[in-house]
């Protein structure tokens, strides 16, 4: 799952992880200082069963070549109007720096080049069965209804620049 910041990537990580056979990181690139570390993070670990679906819901993914590392990974790209993103980010984090604007622009351009299911932010709820089918997870209306009106947000807007440097 990917999209510009404030496009429900944190919500999707929580929502997907509520399914019994799914573990979804939010911003899973954080703390991975090599592609091998990231690949390992995307594998079942610890007490997770081998058949567990592992994923990442992350706004920084378009700035990486993750589709080369995971060519068979089903990807969902969430498109939200840029001005709505800026307004939402500012309402939570205050005025944006030029670096953040540049990152948002670069991410939006890169999103258009990704292979996968492209979905408009405003239509996420109606597209949930299609999104879940695309990523190979059974759609469960009970989980969707539980999460539908939840407001989930992160406490910071920063990525891990050292981890991101591995990819660019």
User: How far apart (Å, rounded) are the C-alpha atoms in residues 102 and 55?
Assistant: 27
Residues whose CB is less than 8 angstroms from the CB of residue 118 and which lie 6 or more positions away in sequence, other chains included: 77, 79
Local confidence band at 168 (pLDDT 50, 70, 90 cut-offs): low
Residue among 62, 65, 69, 57 nearest 27 (CA)? 57
User: What share of the chain in percent tops pLDDT 70?
Assistant: 94
2-3 vs 76-79, strand pairing mode? parallel
Q: Of residues 94 and 164, which shows the higher confidence score? A: 94
Is the confidence at residue 22, as pLDDT, over 70?
A: yes
Q: What is the pLDDT of residues 95-125, one digit of tens each?
A: 888 888 888 999 999 999 999 999 999 999 9
pTM: 0.88
Cross-strand pairs, 55: 24
Q: What is the mean pLDDT of residues 48-73?
A: 89
The enclosing H or E element of 49 equals none
Pair 56, 135: CB distance under 8 Å: no
Local confidence band at 157 (pLDDT 50, 70, 90 cut-offs): low
Residues in the chain: 168
Question: What are the two backbone dihedrals, phi and then psi, of residue 100, each rounded to the nearest 5 degrees?
Answer: -70, -45
């Amino acid at each position: 799952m990917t999209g510009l910041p404030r496009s429900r990537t944190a919500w999707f990580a929580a929502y997907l992880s509520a399914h019994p056979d799914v573990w979804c990181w939010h911003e899973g690139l954080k703390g991975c200082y090599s592609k091998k570390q990231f690949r390992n993070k995307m594998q079942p670990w610890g007490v997770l069963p081998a058949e567990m679906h592992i994923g990442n819901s992350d706004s920084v993914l378009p700035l990486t070549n993750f589709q080369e590392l995971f060519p068979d990974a089903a990807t969902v790209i969430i498109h939200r109007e840029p001005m709505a993103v800026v307004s939402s980010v500012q309402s939570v984090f205050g005025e944006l720096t030029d670096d953040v604007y540049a990152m948002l622009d670069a991410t939006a351009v890169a999103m258009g080049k990704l292979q996968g299911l492209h979905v408009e932010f405003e239509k996420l709820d109606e597209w949930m069965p299609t999104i879940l089918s695309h990523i190979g997870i059974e759609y469960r209306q009970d989980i969707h209804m539980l999460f539908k009106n939840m407001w989930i947000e992160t406490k910071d807007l920063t990525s891990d620049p050292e981890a991101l440097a591995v990819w660019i």
